[in-house]
Each structure stands twice: as C-alpha cells, then as structure tokens.
A and B are shown apart, each in its own frame.
Chain A
Amino acid sequence: MLFGYEWDTSAGPLVFAWSILPILLTGVLVTIQAAVLGFGIALVLGLVLAVLKAAPSRLISWPAHGVAEFVRDTPLLIQLFFLYYVLPEYGLLLPAFMTGALALGIQYSAYMAEVYRGGIEAVARGQREAARALNLSSARTFTHVVLPQAIPRIIPALGNYLVSIMKDVPILSVVTVMELLNVAKIIGDRTFNYIVPLSLVGLIYLIMTLIAAGGVRYLDKTLPKKGIALK
C-alpha cells in the first residue's frame, strides 16, 4: 500500500499495472509540477542571465559569464546535493521539492540564457537603430521592440528544454522527492516486481513528452513570426 492505494499482485501483470496506476499518477503530478516550476525559474533566470551577460560593463558581464559557465559545466546532481545538503548548514532550509525545482531551474537557466541571446541577436539591427532614432530608452527598446520579436523565434528551442527538464526530474528522487520514478521504485521494492512499474514509467514518460512536443509545435505554428503583436 502506498498513498492509501492497494496494489493487486495476484492476477498477472495487467491487473497489477492497473492497480498501481493511481499511485504512479500521484508521482506524475509531482514530476509535472517540478518540471513546470523548474522551467518557470529557468525562463526568468535565463533572461536575467542573458541580459547581464550582454551588459556593456565588464564588471557585470564577466561574473555573469562565469556563473553561467560554472552552472553549465558541473553536473546537475552535484548542484542538487549542494543545495540540499550544504545550504541548510548556512541556515537556508528548503523542502526537498523546492530544492529540486530550484536546482533544475538554475541548471537550465544557463542553457536558456544562450537561447535568449541567440533570439535577441537575431532581431534586425535596423530595429534597434529605429528605436534609437526615435529616442526610445534602451530599457523600453529591449522590452517593447527587441523581446516581442525575439520570443516567437525562440519558442521551439525553449519548448525543447521543457521536454528536457521533464526528463531530468527523476534525478530529484535522490533527495527524496516523490516523483514518478521514485514512486515506481518504491512499488518495486515492496512487491519485488520492478518490470511492471518501470515499464509503466517509460510509457507514461513517452506520452508526456509526446504531448509536450505537440504543444510546442502548436505554439510554434500559431505564434506570429513577426513578433508578438502590440496594439
């Protein structure tokens, strides 16, 4: 029994699979929450990092480059352990789920900063020059001229990272987050049957990533290529 659900190992693998499905779905929910929260953090942090990296002053851009490089070049698992085991020693105690989402968000922000940079640089130089000629401030130019044209172009790349993040969520099981894989493993430990729960995890993952990829493709098709319209 787990989360109040009983499983049935008496009548073959299909019945067993059916009986553990509700338990696995609670794990799916945690996986999706972690992925979405991590993605949200990465979206915001990635943009901040991209802006800082492009800052005219080296006092700002160099540390930003350093942080991004460090995050990208060290394994997610080490960052996760660091946040989970080391930070509490300095008084920062977060629940396992939040720590996990934060670790995912930080790791992916470094990748997403590069995506933002590419999108921002792809906006025609003439757009910036026109904004300058009209005396728009650089902040206004960025938020109202450059970003609305950059974002539609980078949606596919960002979407791919959402799928990627989802596939990295099982790493959070090492810090006790009850996501899908962790739940399946516990069921296996208790029933000595791993093949059914682990196969189901694979299947559920396939369905989730297919849906996410379809969503990204839909967004890519429907978003106007000319930029997000500002009326």
Chain B
Amino acid sequence: MTEPIIKFDKVVKRFGSHTVLDHLDFEVNPGEMVTIIGPSGSGKSTVLRILMTLEQIQDGVVTVEGEPLWHERKNGDLVPASEKHLRKMREKLGMVFQQFNLFPHMTVLRNLTEAPRQVLGLSKKDATERAEELLERVGLSDQASKFPHQLSGGQQQRVGIARALAMRPKIMLFDEPTSALDPELVGEVLKVIRQLANEHELTMLLVTHEMQFARQVSDRVCFFDKGRIEEQGPPEELFTDPKRERTREFLKAVLDPDA
C-alpha cells in the first residue's frame, strides 16, 4: 500500500456559522485522478481551495506528501504554518480556476514565465523555453504574444493549465475548469486534461459537472454532499450502481434532468 499523497484527517471548515466541511476524511494516492462531484455548496471546491492554501481550516489536519499543510512541526508539536512553510508546500501544487484568472495585463508568454522566473529563479531563456513547450502541448504555440482578452475562453483556460504546469507541480487541482465556458469550447479544455490524466505523472483532483468526462478519465469519483463524502468508488460502479439513495438522486437529476 502506497502512502497517500493527499490526506484530509477530520478536517473542519466553516464560513461563519455555516459548516462547509464536516470532519472530512479524504485520501488521494500518488498518480491518481480523482473527480469530485456533488451539488453546489457541498464543499467540493473548498477541498481544492484548502489544498492551494487559499482557505484556512478550523480543525483537523491536511497532509501533502506526509507533511502537514496548514501546520508545521515544532519541537514535536503541531503549530499553525508560517508563510515560509506555506510557500514550500505550495510548490507541490498547481491550480486551474473556473474564471481562468489569467493576468490580463501580461502577454500569454509572460503569464507563463512570470512565476517560474520570480519563484523558481529560472533564467529568461529557460522560462521561455519551458513556456513554449507547454504552449505547444496545449495547442497554443502561435498565441504566445497575445493578451488574454484576445483569446477565446477555451484558449484562455488552456493557457491557465499551461501556467500552472509551468511550475512543475506534483498535484494539479482543477476547480470547475469548464463551467465558465461556452458549450462548444468545453471539448478543447477537456482534451488537454485527458492528455494529462493519461500520462499518469501528475496526481489530479478535478471538481466538475461534466459527468461523462468524469466517468471516462477518473480513477475514482467522489460524491460530496453536505461537507462529507457520501459515496466514492470507481466511476463505472458509482455511475451505474450507486449504493446510496442521495447519490442516486443527484445522478438522476444531473444525467437525466427531464425525467
């Protein structure tokens, strides 16, 4: 049994009096592609945001590669993490946002080279080479000198994926990457994600409403409801033979909304 690369241990997250994650236990193995589905407000995006250190947790422990994320060990005690520790942990993770969040005042190339140069200390030449390689991988070699607003939504999101990959993370987090896209642009983004999943080099966590896609590419699908994992399993099993009533309801509602 391999050590999980991500581990949530009784994690509690509250926004005011609203509990988003309720003593969540959750594990992801290295190289695994896990899709999180569930109704909105079920805490699925929060899982990714906690991992990317965009949201703090109130209780429990999150570990990444065996090291606590929001805490650090000091003289045998777990104390809240310093910014230095968070920066070190963040290196392991990359995130793709629903709204792309590209830097609008930078060219596509600069979007991809800014962090590698500033954070990883790459030379301009190396960062540019890395960026060009990634742009080719996402099929945007000819767009390097354009600004984000000159691209379509699908192209912007592919730049978003390339930008995250440029930091060479071990874990990629996709937070509803196609939800803000016109339907005809969804495919080009999913194609890139599928490629990444097939390479099996990255551990991937995907929050999505694209059920068909989740079924095809995931190693495991987790159904979130009310801040907990209601049910999880291999996609074929979860989609064809869900065990829990709540899962059945949800899948029926999203897969067959007219019925």
A140 to B119, alpha carbons, bound, how many Å?
Answer: 10
> Is there contact, CB below 8 Å, between A230 and B90?
no
A-B contacts at CB below 8 angstroms, number? 71
- B85-128 CB mask vs A (1 if < 8 Å, else 0) is 00100110111010101111111001000110011000000000
Minimum Cβ distance to chain B for residue A223 (Å): 11
A119 to B90, alpha carbons, bound, how many Å?
Answer: 28
Whether a CB of chain B sits under 8 angstroms from the CB of A145 is: yes
> Is there contact, CB below 8 Å, between B163 and A227?
no
> Is there contact, CB below 8 Å, between A229 and B103?
no
> Is there contact, CB below 8 Å, between B90 and A135?
yes
A126 to B53, alpha carbons, bound, how many Å?
Answer: 14
> Is there contact, CB below 8 Å, between B103 and A130?
yes
> Is there contact, CB below 8 Å, between B104 and A227?
yes
User: Given A140-B118, A229-B147, do A133 and B52 touch, yes or no (CB 8 Å)?
Assistant: yes
Whether a CB of chain A sits under 8 angstroms from the CB of B200 is: no
User: Given A133-B93, A226-B105, A230-B110, do A126 and B164 touch, yes or no (CB 8 Å)?
Assistant: no
Minimum Cβ distance to chain B for residue A16 (Å): 54
Minimum Cβ distance to chain B for residue A230 (Å): 5
Q: Which of B99, B106, B118 contacts A126 (CB 8 A)?
A: B99
Minimum Cβ distance to chain B for residue A99 (Å): 39
Whether a CB of chain B sits under 8 angstroms from the CB of A137 is: yes
- A124-138 CB mask vs B (1 if < 8 Å, else 0) is 101101101111110
User: Given A136-B118, A140-B118, do A126 and B167 touch, yes or no (CB 8 Å)?
Assistant: no
Whether a CB of chain A sits under 8 angstroms from the CB of B1 is: no
> Is there contact, CB below 8 Å, between B167 and A135?
yes
Q: Which of A129, A144, A224, A226 contacts B114 (CB 8 A)?
A: A144
Whether a CB of chain B sits under 8 angstroms from the CB of A208 is: no
Whether a CB of chain B sits under 8 angstroms from the CB of A148 is: yes
> Inside 8 A of A127's CB, which chain B residues have their CB?
101, 103
> Is there contact, CB below 8 Å, between B119 and A134?
yes
The interface size bin for chain B is 20 to 34
> Inside 8 A of B87's CB, which chain A residues have their CB?
135
> Inside 8 A of B54's CB, which chain A residues have their CB?
129, 132-133
- A192-231 CB mask vs B (1 if < 8 Å, else 0) is 0000000000000000000000000000000010111111
Q: Which of A135, A149, A230 contacts B115 (CB 8 A)?
A: A135
Whether a CB of chain A sits under 8 angstroms from the CB of B149 is: yes
Q: Which of B90, B101, B107, B118 contacts A130 (CB 8 A)?
A: B101
A228 to B106, alpha carbons, bound, how many Å?
Answer: 8
A40 to B87, alpha carbons, bound, how many Å?
Answer: 36
User: Given A133-B164, A135-B87, A135-B115, do A227 and B94 touch, yes or no (CB 8 Å)?
Assistant: no
> Inside 8 A of B164's CB, which chain A residues have their CB?
133-134
Q: Which of B99, B101, B119 contacts A135 (CB 8 A)?
A: B119
> Is there contact, CB below 8 Å, between A136 and B114?
yes
CB-based nearest A residue for B54: A129
A124 to B98, alpha carbons, bound, how many Å?
Answer: 14
Minimum Cβ distance to chain A for residue B89 (Å): 10
Q: Which of B95, B107, B118, B163 contacts A137 (CB 8 A)?
A: B118
Interface centre among A135, A148, A228 (most CB of B within 10 A): A135
> Inside 8 A of A133's CB, which chain B residues have their CB?
52, 54, 90, 93-95, 97, 164
> Inside 8 A of B106's CB, which chain A residues have their CB?
229-231
> Inside 8 A of B149's CB, which chain A residues have their CB?
226
List the 8 closest pairs (A to B, CB-CB), nearest first. Answer: A227-B105, A130-B101, A134-B115, A126-B101, A226-B104, A133-B95, A135-B119, A135-B90
List 10 extra interface pairs beyond A133-B52, A133-B54, A226-B105, CB under 8 A. A130-B97, A133-B95, A134-B119, A134-B164, A135-B91, A135-B115, A145-B103, A149-B105, A229-B106, A229-B147
In the assembled complex, 28 residue pairs joining A and B whose CB atoms fall closer than 8 Å, in A order, are A126-B99, A130-B95, A130-B97, A130-B101, A130-B102, A133-B52, A133-B54, A133-B95, A133-B97, A134-B119, A134-B163, A135-B91, A135-B119, A135-B167, A136-B114, A136-B115, A137-B119, A145-B103, A226-B104, A226-B147, A226-B149, A227-B104, A227-B105, A228-B105, A229-B105, A230-B103, A230-B106, A231-B106
The chain B residues found within 8 Å of chain A, CB to CB, are 52-54, 87, 90-91, 93-95, 97, 99, 101-107, 110, 114-115, 118-119, 147, 149, 163-164, 167
The chain A residues found within 8 Å of chain B, CB to CB, are 124, 126-127, 129-130, 132-137, 140, 144-145, 148-149, 224, 226-231
